[in-house]
Amino acid sequence: MGITSKPVVFAVLAAVVILIGTTVTVFIPLFMPSTQPVSPYIKPYTAVEQEGRDIYMREGCNNCHTQTVRPLRTEVLRYGEYSKPEEFAYDRPFLWGSRRTGPDLNRVGGKYPDSWHYKHTAHPQSMFEKSNMPPYGWLAKNRLDTGYSFKKTSTLGYGYAESEVQQQIDQYRETVTSASYPSKESRNQVTPPELQNELTEMDALIAYLQKLGRDVKNMEARK
Amino acid sequence: MNEAGYNYRVVRGFAFSALFWLVIGLVVGLWIAFEMFNPALNLSPWLSFGRLRVVHTNGLGLGFGLAAIFSTSYYILQRLTRTPLLFPRLAQAHLYLFNTAIALAAISLFAGMNTTREYGELEWPLDIVVVIFWVMFAINVFGTLIKRKEKQMYISLWYIISMTVAIAILYIVNNLEVPINLFKSYTLFSGANDANVEWWYAHNIVGFIFTVPILAMFYYFLPKSTGLPIYSHRLSIVSFWALNFAYLWTGAHHLMLTPLPEWIQTVAMAFSIFLIAPSWGSVVNGYYTLQGNWDQMRTNYLTKFFIAGITFYGLQTLQGPLQGLRTLNAFFHYTDWVVGHVHMGTMGWVTMIISASFYYMIPRINNTELYSVKLANTHFWLILVGQFTWTITMWIAGIQQGAMWKATNPDGSLMYNFLDTVTSLYPYYKLRFVAGVIYFIGILVFAWNLIMTVRKQPNQSEA
């Protein structure tokens, strides 16, 4: 056979063969609006939530937690309404995951108060003795770095002005540090005194977790 | 040096790099296997499961897998073209750059620089280094092929060519990202599109790293080790093109029942089933090659590595498509079943074939004999028993967890809370750890055997 004595022709042909399936199932869908629809109910992450999302990625939470509820009866019973494509329009990257060592988190927002998350994230075993989740108490000991927050949200196309980003950060700091914050006690238990008036990585992570599945509830309510 | 002037230095360099990263990757693997039932081992941020898991997958996939592929590819390339590497110094630079990149990759993943795109977690500066060393490799592959003395390209060379082309396309498209700073970037794609691109990549990186080049080794080293020609040339042609065509359609079987458009999932499902045919083309070709010579399973220590390896490949390529069926996927996805599936491929098929290829290749390039066939047999049985125990344990764990997730009371409410489904798996996780230790001992025997082989005095006469 002639082709096996022509390496360059062989390589070109191999590339063509490889690109057929790639084009049909990956490249073309990129340009079809139906692959990633958008909804006015789904809002982008705030700067703090985005920082929390980056910490979620940094710690590889996606290795144990999925973020997609499948349209199966027991799954909807366990986690809530199944995932809709519109929810992920701002997710760069997607964090659907591939293994559920821990439960799915796509509908975790609003399910528990912040205090629950402070306690659980810092010491999972204090709430569930036999849980195998790693403790993340040290996140409360790290001051949140917001140096790139504006650059991040503008790269992701969230459309916030620099002042808005600063306002979001200040506002969230005020929320979690105010005397009337309902989860103040558990926050102070895990946050060292010198950081109790600052934003920590733990604060941002929890802000992100509380955002998960929140907007889509409004979308579903209006249907 | 040898008569023909073949460059074996880089072959040896990559082979021992592979062994090094294999041992490191397995130590990390054992560590996280222990964390699965005892979280006390999450001693510091750098040792927490979420970070270590990617060190494990990248260390073994990129570190061990790629190094073994480069080693055997450089060897096969020179032998089958009967031509020394066109750019030996470029190949040597490739070796140094590769090991530097893997070391930096490990450190950056420990430090949490993680794009979270499975099997493509490295941040953008390292992505660029990966592309550079891939181009260095490709230049030698195509340069040597163009200058070759042997006119016909044998099957193994086809597989090396298609790997070189496919990985370049996959890696570049999947890693299109916008940098924020040196350590952080965001992908160009969002949501469902991102998932589709990523699983197209992740599925095919498995295809073109853990299948295609391993088949190149299989088609070259099986006839070499057994002295038997490949059963059917025609079957190998059909399998080759069908495999290369069909593989790229199937990524979305990792995204069954997610918000990805249903048609993409269904197309992936159909092509996954089709993929059984070309995969088994190679399995059948391997088995029939031994026709009438099955006594070699007893008499030739290398034969059993190849036959066990191709058998696991056959099982893997049957199990994979079945898991991709929507109904079965609804049960198995996200459980430990899939973890078992992956490890049959890597611990069974990939490692068995690489082991035998090294056992054939290393003594020859050092003009000596293997240090100990007895140790090679010990290695075989340890990794076989270790792998079998490991994967079967995870399949059972997966079935149990899948069933517990689905179990309901007569009134329709859920029977188990999530934590129950996790803690019920701890006995399996403990057994899996023990199986991993058995496997690891087998790998240490492997490494020891090869180290002692290259330390032996070479034979006086040219082999």
Q: How far apart are CA B282 and CA B275, in angstroms?
A: 12
B462, pLDDT greater than 70:
no
The reply to whether residue A62 touches residue B51, judged by beta carbons under 8 angstroms, is: no
pLDDT at B3: 67
Interface check for A81 against chain B (CB to CB < 8 A): the answer is no
Average pLDDT in the B3-9 region? 89
Nearest to A97 by CA among B53, B351, B371, B277: B53
| Residue in A35, A54, A95 nearest the CB of B261 | A35
Residue entry with tokens 């009371």 = B409
**Chain A residues touching B330 at Cβ < 8 A:** 70, 72
- The A residues from 88 to 147 touching B (CB cutoff 8 Å) are 88-103, 124-125, 128, 130-136, 138
* A28: CB partners within 8 A, 6+ apart: none
User: What is the per-residue pLDDT for B54?
Assistant: 98
B214-264 tens-digit pLDDT? 999 999 999 999 999 999 999 999 999 999 999 999 999 999 999 999 999
Task: Please check whether the domain covering A47-222 is classified as CATH 1.10.760.10.
Answer: yes
* Distances B335 to A78, B330, B436 between C-alpha atoms, Å: 16, 10, 19
Structure-token pair, residue B329: 């996927």
- The answer, yes or no, to whether residue B463 has pLDDT greater than 50, is no
Query: Are B193 and A29 a contacting pair at CB < 8 A?
Result: yes
Handedness of CA B110, B112, B114, B116 (dihedral sign): positive
B200: closest chain A residue by CA: A26
Mark yes or no for CB contact A92/B51 under 8 Å: no
Please check the confidence at residue B401 and state whether its pLDDT lies above 90: yes
The pLDDT tens digits of the residues spanning B34-53 come to 999 999 999 999 999 999 99
Give the gap in angstroms from C-alpha A58 to the nearest C-alpha of chain B: 5
Share of chain B above pLDDT 90, in %: 97
Write out pLDDT tens, residues B154-173. Answer: 999 999 999 999 999 999 99
Q: Are A118 and A186 in contact (CB under 8 A)?
A: yes
Is residue B247 within 8 Å of residue B162, measured between CB atoms? no
CB contacts, 8 Å: B194 with chain A = 91-94
| Residues 6 or more apart whose Cβ sits within 8 Å of residue B248 | A18, A19, A20, A21, A22, A25, B200, B204
Q: What is the pLDDT of residue A221?
A: 81
Contact yes or no for B196 and A29 at CB 8 A: yes
The torsion region of residue A163 among left (phi > 0), alpha (psi -120 to 50) and beta comes to: alpha
**Digitized pLDDT (tens) for each residue of chain A, 223 residues in all:** 588 999 999 999 999 999 999 999 999 999 999 999 999 999 999 999 999 999 999 999 999 999 999 999 999 999 999 999 999 999 999 999 999 999 999 999 999 999 999 999 999 999 999 999 999 999 999 999 999 999 999 999 999 999 999 999 999 999 999 999 999 999 999 999 999 999 999 999 999 999 999 998 888 887 6
Q: Which amino acid is at B182?
A: L
Residues in A touching B178 (Cβ below 8 Å): 155
Instruction: Give yes or no for a contact between B348 and B62, defined as CB atoms under 8 angstroms apart.
Output: no
Residues 6+ apart with CB under 8 A from B1: none
Query: pLDDT for B189-211, tens place per residue?
Result: 999 999 999 999 999 999 999 99
Q: What pLDDT does A7 receive?
A: 96
**Residue A21 to residue B271, Cβ atoms within 8 A:** yes
- Residues from chain A that touch B114, judged by Cβ atoms under 8 A, are 57-58, 60
CA B298 to chain centre: 27
B460 has a pLDDT exceeding 80:
no
Alpha-carbon span A193 to A173, nearest angstrom: 15
pLDDT score of B459: 84
- The Cα–Cα gap between B88 and B9 comes to 9
Q: Mean of the pLDDT values across residues B383-406?
A: 98
Domain coordinates in residue numbering, chain A:
1-35, 47-222
The residue of chain A nearest to residue B53, with distances taken between CA atoms, is A63
Of B114, B184, B195, the CB nearest to A60: B114
Categorize the per-residue pLDDT at B67 as very low, low, confident or very high, splitting at 50, 70 and 90.
Answer: very high
Helix axes B88-110, B124-146, angle to 10 degrees: 160
Token pair for B222:
């099986």
**E strands within B210-278?**
none
Instruction: Report how far residue A135's alpha carbon sits from residue A119's, in angstroms, rounded to the nearest whole number.
Output: 10
SS3 A212: coil
**Cβ neighbours for B327, distance < 8 A, ≥ 6 positions apart:** none
From the CA of B254, how many Å to the nearest CA of chain A? Answer: 8
**Taking Cα atoms as reference points, which of B91, B90, B101 lies closest to residue B71?**
B91
Mutate to test the interface with A, among B148, B199, B248, B424 (most CBs of A within 10 A): B248
Residue A59 at interface with chain B, using a CB cutoff of 8 Å: yes
DSSP states of A87-153:
GGTT-SS----SB-SS---TT-TTTS-HHHHHHHHH-HHHHSTT--PPP-GGGGGSB---TTHHHHH
Q: Residue A25 and residue B196: Cβ atoms within 8 Å?
A: yes
Number of H helices, E strands in chain B: 19, 2
- C-alpha dihedral sign at B135, B124, B209, B102: positive
Determine the average pLDDT of the residues in B431-449: 98
Q: Name which of A66, A130, A138 is nearest B334 (Cβ-Cβ).
A: A66
Write out chain A residues lying below 8 Å of B428, CB-based. none
Chain B closest-CA separation from residue A45 CA (Å): 14
Q: Are B187 and A36 in contact (CB under 8 A)?
A: no
Q: Which residues of A touch B267 (CB under 8 A)?
A: 24-25
Chain A hits for B241, Cβ within 8 Å = 17
User: Which of A111, A76, A65 is CA-nearest to residue A214?
Assistant: A111
Q: Is B166 within 8 Å of A68 when comparing Cβ atoms?
A: no
Residue of A6, A13, A22, A77 best to disrupt the B interface, most CBs of B under 10 A? A22
CA distance A176 to A178: 6
Contacts of B38 in chain A (CB under 8 A): 132
| Cβ atoms of A81 and A69 closer than 8 Å | yes
pLDDT at B76 over 60: yes
Query: What's the pLDDT at A219?
Result: 83
Nearest Cα residue in chain B from A124: B39
Cross-chain Cβ contact B422/A84 below 8 Å: no
- Nearest-CA distance from A62 to chain B in Å? 7
Answer whether A78 sits within 8 Å of B414, measured CB to CB.
yes
C-alpha angle B216-B96-B370 in degrees, rounded to nearest 5: 50
Do you find a cis peptide bond into A93, omega within 30 degrees of 0? yes
Identify the sign of the CA torsion B202, B203, B204, B206.
positive
CB burial string B266-296: b at 16+ within 10 A, e below: ebbbbbbebbbebbbbbbbbbbebbeeeeeb
Residue with tokens 């197209």: B200
pTM metric for this prediction:
0.97
A15 and B268 within 8 Å at the Cβ level: the answer is no
Q: What is the pLDDT of residue B461?
A: 59
B337, B418, B425, B429: best mutation site toward chain A, by most A Cβ within 10 Å? B418
Given A19, A74, A148, which is nearest B180 (Cβ)? A148
- Kindly state whether A52 is in contact with chain B, defined as any CB-CB distance less than 8 angstroms: no
Task: Kindly determine whether residue B200 and residue A22, on different chains, have CB atoms separated by under 8 Å.
Answer: yes
Asked if B152 and A124 come within 8 Å (Cβ–Cβ), the reply is no
CA-CA distance, B422 to A68, in Å (whole number)? Answer: 19
Beta carbon pairs, A and B, within 8 Å: 247
Task: Judge whether residue B383 has pLDDT over 60.
Answer: yes
| A70 vs B173, B244, B330: nearest CB | B330
Residue B256 tokens read as: 């069954």
B-contacting residues in A 142-201 (Cβ below 8 Å): 148, 151-152, 155-156
- B385 vs B186, B420, B440, CA distance in Å? 43, 30, 11
Residue B1: pLDDT above 60? no
